A and B are shown apart, each in its own frame.
Chain A
Amino acid sequence: MSQPFRIAAGGRIERDRTLSFTFDGRALTGCAGDTLASALLANGVHLVGRSFKYHRPRGIYSAGPEEPNAMVALGPTDTHTPNLRATEIELFDGLQAHSQNRWPSLARDVRAVVDRAAPLVPAGFYYKTFMWPADRWMTYEKHIRHAAGLGLASTGVDAAATYDRRFAHCDVLVVGGGAAGLTAALTAARAGARVIVADERPTWGGSLTAAPTTLDGADSRLWIASTLAELTERDNVTLLPRASVFGRYDQDLYGIAVRRPDGSPNDAAPRETLWLVRTQRAVVAAGAIERPLVFANNDRPGVMLAGAAQAYLNRYAVMPGRRAVIATNNDSAYAAARDLQAAGVDIAAIVDARVEPARITIDGVRHIPGSAVVAARGHSRVTGAAVAHLGSDGKSLDGAVEIIDCDLICASGGWSPTVHLYSHAGGKLRYDSDIAALVPRDELATLSVVGAAAGQFVLDRCFAAGAAAGRQAVAACGYGATVIDVPVCDGQAATPPRPLWHLPLARGHKGKRFVDLQADVTVDDVELAAREGYRSVEHLKRYTTLGMGTDQGKTSNINGLAILAETLNDPIDAVGTTTFRPPYTPVTLGTFAGRETGKHFAPIRRTPLHDRHEQAGAVFAPAGLWLRPHYYPRGGVDVQTASRREATAVRRSVGLVDVSTLGRIDIQGTDAAELLNRLYVNGWSTLAIGRVRYGLMLREDGMVSDDGTTARLAADHYIMTTTTANAGAVMTHIEHYLQLVWPDLDVRVASITDQWAVIAVAGPNSRATLQRVAGDIDFTNESLPFMGLAQGTFAGVPATVFRISFSGELAYEVAVPADYGPAVWDALMAAGESFDITPYGTEALGILRVEKGHFVIGAEADGRATADDLGLGRMQSTKKDFVGRRSLGRPALTAPNRKQLVGLRPVDAAAAIPAGAQIVEKPSLIGPVEMIGHVTSTAFSPEREGFIALAMIANGRARVGDQVFASSPLTDTLVQMTITNHVFIDPNGERLRA
């Protein structure tokens, strides 16, 4: 095995399974069970990245999600994933990793020059410069943007990167599978509760796996294994390894990103699944994160958290160095020293800030009390530690600086409980000076925090608290009590830590003291921000970018705010902390989208007649979620040619159009007519059974919101038609009124849009066409007059036929159960063959309605038009109340200069009218110029053999005959127009009554 830093025995790796991988193209090997970080360390690779701002060489600092430095891109260049933490990547055979944010190479990065220019670029320097010349910011910015950022976004899409979503419910969600979490889970599970246990690591046991621990007199592995065996056995428990519980949301919803094991790229399972877990109770046993010590050059490769060094040793059998200096202010690093020493690492010294002895003693190791490492030596790898004695205030040094040669500095500044989810839930923190850490202050109703996450750093307390939390949670869910024997273990309290937020600089050993390694924020930056008045912890964060990196300040948060507190002479509690925001660790964007990508982003709605349109060669256009035929390009012609042919067919003979997308609402009950009276501006009491009426709806503010026809089928039964776009909105509107405002009405409504296929048959030959289809419906004018309806058998199926017209021609709408739609379409096509019956699309529909002067919702009725603006003021009943009526009395709604619906024709009959043009009186394409109105719809009218338009023009009805200009600066077109009446054909409606 060519892994010089791999220890011969121990660890939890599969030593016999060698895996090959590359880092920046260099071929290396590791073992199954390694992370990329542990494999790199096993090969003695310490330089793995460059920092964000100063491009300083960086190594592997931690062994978990808190990693600030070791960020790599994973995968082949065109489909790689940037910004992944080497400490979280499970090694697999063939893994390709690349370092980031360096050019031309990791070892030689030209931008490292920024490090030397550091005095010129303190925190917030960019707010103070790059201001002149005033028009040059964009140039400066271009360079700044290229210097910033970490990795590169891949250009391609990794086809194997699939994602999914899943919903789950449970009684108790346990976050964290360490000592406290597994105990809580087991307690809850034995009570019969539905339990989900999630842990971000691939393996269970939490910090128990980082150190050799004795439980009940045996190796802790036995306890972990037996606990897991029982949990796995139980049907009421779901174990989720590789699961990051990233956020807590309202009503106890937790978001969990669950990864597929890395290294199985061809696995059919999604790469990542978003679990949305609604739980009754949550037990957060998320552990604690070790804090850095803030000394000069504390970012050099070879400086590592002591707990991480211990974890690399015990989990992965990797020696992170040959000769180590241990720098600490608490007891935990002694355990790391003990393990490292046992594995053969030469412990040069334990430098402890405290004077009083630690509870653990290690024989044969030099112990330097009351002192600290004040600087790391070396550049791309540590070569030594500068050690000095601390003054009693911790802010000064006394005595000489001693240099101790080493290639590893294991630093421990104490531990910060992982309180993020507690904070998401609204929990507040307090500073516990006994452990020098922020801990949860209050009990929350449905979430409890236990173990190290609650500041319980003694193992037996973690077990006890886990069991108690488990019991409490199940009791709250109504389950009976259970008994669980917690393992007997070490219960002795540690010697209290000595708070040490940053170390003074020693003469001759200057260097940057990093508070936030990822965001490259130093002690000087924090102090500068405080001097300049950025004294709220939020201002500090925003001014210096402290804690704004991808690690969200997991290792920097408390050091930063404590340094601020020191600078301000305030207690840490008074300074407070920034808000922890979800996600706890970054979550892949694809995970949130799940399967809703590409065409699956939103459902596609197709009408029952869709196949017929496809067979006819239709070109489709989206209408909301619907696909509707836009035009039928017979012989491959363009939209203009096809739509004019289709419109002409309707005017001269007969055409048919699929109108199944219009919203249809079935309304039944003794108060159905009353409901319509209240919804529509016009009256409905007089509508006879078997008749249809056009209705207009307003919003509460008096503006037209929707229109359509409603038919009376029986005394208590109506069918309402809405526009396609507003089918859902009108239904919601009605439900809102029925449920909240008029619950007393005896009426029920149901959307039946999907139940029907509806075909409009329009044109002078429409009646003859319908009469040729077998059935028992009498289509004569006497039997089925304009605005009438008939029910019967048509083409062998039950049908309702409405005699209504949007085109202005003699027209019928045939509505049949959806499944019969294609058959009825075929029957109509056959019956109309000798008339050259022509399917038409929405483009021709638009031509026909503009010719007829019908407004549509969205274009003319754009949410700012009243019924009167649209020429329908007189439809509004004065005898009843209706939605919006109250608003109509407001002065602005009857003001003289409102925009009104009119028609427009170009003065030059051959001129085209630009869509989206504004109407001006002064012939101008350059603003500012007064606009008196705007073009709402344009069409080439085959009937009028020229372009026509509808427009909304101030006081337009009084200005018919005036000449104005349609101005479209976007297309550089200006067309002189004459204002006309908005109805271009058959103003008296003779055709539709024929």
Chain B
Amino acid sequence: MLLRPFSLIDIDPIASHNDKRKLIEEIVTDSRRTLSSRMTSVPRGAGLKGYEMRYSALNLVRNAFSGHRAWPVAWRKAAPQASYDVVIIGGGGHGLATAYYLARNHGITNVAVLEKGWIGGGNTGRNTTIVRSNYLLDTNARFYEHSLKLWEGLTQELNFNLMVSQRGVLNLAHTPGQLESYARRGNAMRLNGIDAELLSRDQVAAMVPRLDCSDRARFPVLGGLLQPRGGTVRHDAVAWGFARAADQRGVDIIEGCEVTAIRRNERGVVGLETSRGAVQAKQIGIAVAGNSSRVAAMADLHLPIESHVLQAMVSEPIKPVLDQVVTSGATHFYISQSDKGELVFGGDLDGYNSYAQRGNLPIIEHVIASALEMFPSFAQLRLMRTWGGIMDMTMDGSPIIAKTPVPGLYFNGGWCYGGFKATPASGWVFAETIANDAPHALNEAFTLERFATGDVLDERGAGPAPWLH
């Protein structure tokens, strides 16, 4: 069954509650319809009552009486079949979202997602969970805004609480020049239909009481750019929610299955070799983030991508002290507080190229020093955990979601460190690109060819220097 993808782009971002409710209801009705249609055809659903499938407060109570023994698996542990219409390589958020939207928007359900490890184990499970659409360039702004709008209804659509928490993303300005460039960006956002507010120092101080807005700081705060609809989403839940919803629509999610070769003939791709045997595929989509260069090389594609390690870290959990995501342009760090209470920090890349999912101390020292510069009262809190993820950095800081020179092979990657917030939109447009063998309007510009033609999307104006984006 083919669903007409409704347009989300037309809805006013600062819509009233009613509009938002309507939007969510539309999405949910839509998904319920497809959910019920799938349930009749998925054999494993047989024998389970509908209420046991759905997540709700009522079902939590019902299951409590049976010791929660009736909950079904969130997604089946599928084994690879001989042949699929579409195989997505990479079981992160992007790959799973792509599979989900292939089924939901295009009725393509003979789909497998191949994941070498466990789903959501790459950057989906390693990011700092920030969602926002505060972009300057039109192409980026529209794409990420589409994503933010999808986030706003995704918990209900997937029937999985993703904890989409719009507590605001605040960029701090420390010089008049920075404030002016934030004004430029904020005005562009507003004129692209995205929410943005320019805040004075006093407004910033009132909003973020723990922030040191005094002149004691080395780089005193002058003001900031706020996107109220920005915020955080529970990252692991995104992988699980998409996996569960895609699985319910018949997608095979195959973990522990590493792709070792992409097979093709003169007409295009025909299948893959994996650690669990050969699989035929009419179309193949690559969504492997930090390993993009390695997987694309299996099809002799050489990408304008470098892999770098980016670290993130959390403090011990404390009671709420910070609502917003706060970033600083002068000191290169960002901070938020998770629902569990941990302060979550991030900063710059480690600098060197790497495929290792771990980094080194200089960046940690710098990020923490930056955090304490802005939030001196956090000095006695303690760092609990640090980790790293591999960033697929392109030469202009923007992603590639496109057809490739190999017929039947599609590429989604080059997310730099902005991939998480893009997850639903990325899946949405990548699914369409695969289904139609032609891009969606929102990813027309995210081509591979743009580096040859010069139509780059250099959001930061940093040039072909991946470590600067």
A interface residues, Cβ below 8 angstroms from B:
52, 79-83, 119-120, 122, 125-135, 137-138, 141, 144-146, 148-158, 161, 163, 165, 247, 249-250, 253, 255, 274, 276, 424, 524, 528, 531-536, 538-539, 542-543, 545, 548, 550, 552, 579, 581-583, 586-590, 592-594, 596-602, 604, 621-623, 699-703, 705, 858-859, 862-864, 887, 890-893, 914-918, 920, 924-929, 931, 934-935, 967-971
- Max count, chain A CB within 10 A of own CB: residue among B67, B175, B380, B460: B380
Supposing A146-B320, A533-B74 touch, asked if A702 and B161 sit within 8 A by C-beta, the answer is no
A129–B160 Cα distance when bound, in Å, is 8
Binary interface encoding of chain B residues 66-109 relative to chain A, with 1 for a CB under 8 A from any of its CBs, else 0: 01110111111100000000000000000000000000000000
Q: Which residue of A lies closest to B379 (CB)?
A: A590
Contacts of A915 in B (CB 8 A): 180, 183
A926–B461 Cα distance when bound, in Å, is 26
Chain B nearest CB from A921 CB (Å) reads: 12
Query: Is the beta-carbon distance between B161 and A128 smaller than 8 angstroms?
Result: yes
Query: Is the beta-carbon distance between A129 and B57 smaller than 8 angstroms?
Result: yes
In the complex, B406 has a CB within 8 A of chain A: no
Query: Is the beta-carbon distance between A528 and B379 smaller than 8 angstroms?
Result: no
A586–B186 Cα distance when bound, in Å, is 39
Which single member of B197, B216, B463 contacts A700 (CB below 8 Å)?
A: B463
Contacts of B156 in A (CB 8 A): 131-132, 134
Query: Is the beta-carbon distance between A593 and B368 smaller than 8 angstroms?
Result: yes
Query: Is the beta-carbon distance between B217 and A589 smaller than 8 angstroms?
Result: no
In the complex, B153 has a CB within 8 A of chain A: yes
Binary interface encoding of chain B residues 226-244 relative to chain A, with 1 for a CB under 8 A from any of its CBs, else 0: 0000000010110011000
Contacts of A151 in B (CB 8 A): 316, 318-319
Query: Is the beta-carbon distance between B61 and A538 smaller than 8 angstroms?
Result: no
Supposing A153-B319, A524-B67, A927-B191 touch, asked if A588 and B382 sit within 8 A by C-beta, the answer is yes
Report how many A-B pairs have Cβ atoms within 8 Å.
Answer: 351
Q: Which of B122-181 contact A (CB under 8 A)?
A: 125, 138, 153, 155-156, 159-161, 163-167, 174-177, 180-181
Contacts of A80 in B (CB 8 A): 380
In the complex, B203 has a CB within 8 A of chain A: no
Beyond A145-B339, A929-B191, 17 additional contacts (C-beta under 8 Å) are A128-B59, A134-B153, A148-B339, A149-B341, A153-B210, A255-B361, A586-B316, A586-B384, A588-B380, A589-B381, A601-B219, A699-B463, A700-B463, A859-B177, A887-B454, A892-B455, A918-B184
Those 9 A-B pairs whose CB atoms lie nearest each other, nearest first: A863-B461, A916-B183, A149-B341, A890-B454, A892-B454, A536-B118, A533-B73, A586-B382, A128-B55
Q: Which of B415-469 contact A (CB under 8 A)?
A: 450, 452-456, 458, 460-465
A249–B74 Cα distance when bound, in Å, is 37
Query: Is the beta-carbon distance between B463 and A863 smaller than 8 angstroms?
Result: yes
Query: Is the beta-carbon distance between B369 and A594 smaller than 8 angstroms?
Result: yes
26 A–B pairs (Cβ distance < 8 Å), ordered by A: A81-B380, A81-B381, A82-B318, A83-B381, A127-B237, A130-B57, A134-B24, A134-B155, A137-B164, A148-B339, A153-B378, A247-B386, A538-B121, A581-B386, A592-B364, A598-B217, A599-B218, A700-B464, A859-B177, A862-B461, A916-B181, A916-B184, A927-B189, A931-B138, A967-B191, A969-B191
Which single member of B360, B395, B452, B462 contacts A863 (CB below 8 Å)?
A: B462
Contacts of A925 in B (CB 8 A): 190
Place the interface of chain B in its size category: 35 or more
In the complex, B278 has a CB within 8 A of chain A: no
Query: Is the beta-carbon distance between A141 and B380 smaller than 8 angstroms?
Result: no
Chain A nearest CB from B424 CB (Å) reads: 16
In the complex, B385 has a CB within 8 A of chain A: yes
Contacts of B454 in A (CB 8 A): 701-702, 887, 890-893
A917–B176 Cα distance when bound, in Å, is 15
Chain B nearest CB from A977 CB (Å) reads: 14
Query: Is the beta-carbon distance between B318 and A592 smaller than 8 angstroms?
Result: no
Query: Is the beta-carbon distance between A593 and B55 smaller than 8 angstroms?
Result: no
A545–B59 Cα distance when bound, in Å, is 22
Q: Which residue of A lies closest to B383 (CB)?
A: A587
Query: Is the beta-carbon distance between A83 and B318 smaller than 8 angstroms?
Result: yes
In the complex, B33 has a CB within 8 A of chain A: no
Query: Is the beta-carbon distance between B319 and A149 smaller than 8 angstroms?
Result: yes
Contacts of A52 in B (CB 8 A): 317
Contacts of A545 in B (CB 8 A): 340
Query: Is the beta-carbon distance between A154 and B218 smaller than 8 angstroms?
Result: no
A145–B368 Cα distance when bound, in Å, is 23
Query: Is the beta-carbon distance between B71 and A531 smaller than 8 angstroms?
Result: yes
A191–B188 Cα distance when bound, in Å, is 68
Contacts of B361 in A (CB 8 A): 247, 249, 253, 255, 276
A154–B369 Cα distance when bound, in Å, is 18
Query: Is the beta-carbon distance between B190 and A891 smaller than 8 angstroms?
Result: no
Chain B nearest CB from A483 CB (Å) reads: 38
Query: Is the beta-carbon distance between B369 and A550 smaller than 8 angstroms?
Result: no
A130–B369 Cα distance when bound, in Å, is 37
Chain B nearest CB from A935 CB (Å) reads: 8
Query: Is the beta-carbon distance between A969 and B316 smaller than 8 angstroms?
Result: no
In the complex, B306 has a CB within 8 A of chain A: no
Query: Is the beta-carbon distance between A581 and B385 smaller than 8 angstroms?
Result: yes
A712–B371 Cα distance when bound, in Å, is 46
Contacts of B372 in A (CB 8 A): 589-590, 593, 597
A701–B77 Cα distance when bound, in Å, is 47
Contacts of B236 in A (CB 8 A): 542-543
Query: Is the beta-carbon distance between B64 and A864 smaller than 8 angstroms?
Result: no
A916–B177 Cα distance when bound, in Å, is 10
In the complex, B315 has a CB within 8 A of chain A: yes
In the complex, B187 has a CB within 8 A of chain A: yes
Contacts of A126 in B (CB 8 A): 161, 163
A38–B339 Cα distance when bound, in Å, is 34
Contacts of A149 in B (CB 8 A): 317-320, 340-341
In the complex, B407 has a CB within 8 A of chain A: no
Supposing A129-B161, A153-B321, A701-B464 touch, asked if A597 and B198 sit within 8 A by C-beta, the answer is no
Q: Which residue of A lies closest to B58 (CB)?
A: A129
Which single member of A122, A132, A138, A158 contacts B166 (CB below 8 Å)?
A: A138
Contacts of A601 in B (CB 8 A): 217-219, 331, 369-370, 373
Contacts of A156 in B (CB 8 A): 377
Chain A nearest CB from B329 CB (Å) reads: 12
Chain A nearest CB from B196 CB (Å) reads: 7
- Max count, chain B CB within 10 A of own CB: residue among A424, A542, A598: A542
A858–B181 Cα distance when bound, in Å, is 9
A792–B164 Cα distance when bound, in Å, is 69
Chain A nearest CB from B421 CB (Å) reads: 18
Query: Is the beta-carbon distance between A137 and B163 smaller than 8 angstroms?
Result: yes
Contacts of B64 in A (CB 8 A): 119-120, 122
A593–B367 Cα distance when bound, in Å, is 9
Which single member of A127, A152, A155 contacts B240 (CB below 8 Å)?
A: A127
A601–B212 Cα distance when bound, in Å, is 14
A981–B78 Cα distance when bound, in Å, is 66
Which single member of A138, A165, A548, A968 contacts B165 (CB below 8 Å)?
A: A138
Q: Which residue of A lies closest to B162 (CB)?
A: A127
Supposing A552-B385, A597-B369, A927-B192 touch, asked if A864 and B197 sit within 8 A by C-beta, the answer is no
In the complex, B42 has a CB within 8 A of chain A: no
Q: Which residue of A lies closest to B55 (CB)?
A: A128
A531–B460 Cα distance when bound, in Å, is 46
Chain A nearest CB from B318 CB (Å) reads: 5
In the complex, B56 has a CB within 8 A of chain A: yes
Query: Is the beta-carbon distance between A596 and B369 smaller than 8 angstroms?
Result: yes
Query: Is the beta-carbon distance between A533 and B369 smaller than 8 angstroms?
Result: no
Contacts of A524 in B (CB 8 A): 67-68
Chain B nearest CB from A701 CB (Å) reads: 5
Contacts of B237 in A (CB 8 A): 127
Query: Is the beta-carbon distance between B368 and A589 smaller than 8 angstroms?
Result: yes
In the complex, B268 has a CB within 8 A of chain A: no
A583–B383 Cα distance when bound, in Å, is 8
Contacts of A533 in B (CB 8 A): 73-77
A902–B223 Cα distance when bound, in Å, is 29
Chain B nearest CB from A599 CB (Å) reads: 5
Query: Is the beta-carbon distance between A970 and B197 smaller than 8 angstroms?
Result: yes
